Amino acid sequence: MRVIVHGATGRMGARLRELASLDPAIALVAASSRTVAESSLRPGPTPQNAHEIRVLADVVIDFSSDIGVMSAIDLASRNGAALLVGTTGLSPATLEALRAESKRRAVLVAPNTSLGVAVLAKIAADTARALGPAFDISIVEAHHNRKKDAPSGTALRLAASIRDAGATLHDDQILAMRGGDVIGEHTIRFSGPGEYIELSHRAVSRDLFVLGALRAAKWLRGAASGWWTVEDALDLRAK
């Protein structure tokens, strides 16, 4: 699979390049970043400005910014590639642009590329259906003090899964904490008469997001044009 990493000099992009270079099924054919100067010790091609890249690619993987995603869309379009966006905190305008692009190519938007979070979303939806309206639902999430969006994209994704299952989850019951160097923690609580259930996911290494992105990208390579999610890539959609 021929991959372009967009946002290649960021924390996630740099790690993505390193782990992709260890996978014999992946060829890292290009890397792009607004900041192209970096150490040559990183594996793979030297980062370029996105508009300079002309290569044959299967998938563009983006971990950049809301503004950077627009550049990733153009990069995928010019190089005939599917697009996987792992960037969080996307604006309505950017999401609209991604929706439009999904009519021309496979687009997968993943606020969290963790396998565990994808499974948690499914379990949360199943739990909400089973417990019914007698249980109140809340989500508490924690991240490092440099994270800009709150609530996190992952919390909103979990909330959407619960609401899609027919349950009520009020916006003021999605709580965000920011502090220290926490990679990511999410806990869903179902509180009922005389009892409560908690479902939690804790990230202990950012590598889990990179490995999940690479796994999803392999699936996306053969996908038809359309709007896809990590649940689709892992075949976790409700049957």
Token pair of 40, please? 């040559």
Of 6, 51, 147, 170, the catalytic one is: 147
Residue 151 preceded by cis peptide, ω within 30:
yes
Told to judge if 144 belongs to the known catalytic residues of this protein, a careful annotator would answer: no
Q: What residue has token string 């993987």?
A: 61
Assign 3-state DSSP to the chain and report helix, strand, coil percentages, each to 5. 35, 25, 40
Of 143, 144, 186, 201, the catalytic one is: 143
Told to judge if 143 belongs to the known catalytic residues of this protein, a careful annotator would answer: yes
For residue 194, give every residue at least 6 positions away whose Cβ sits within 8 Å of its Cβ, in sequence order, or none. none
187 DSSP assignment: E
- Rounded to whole angstroms, how far apart are CA atoms 183 and 147? 10
- Rounded to whole angstroms, how far apart are CA atoms 156 and 193? 26
Token pair of 214, please? 């690479």
> Among all residues, which ones are annotated catalytic?
143, 147
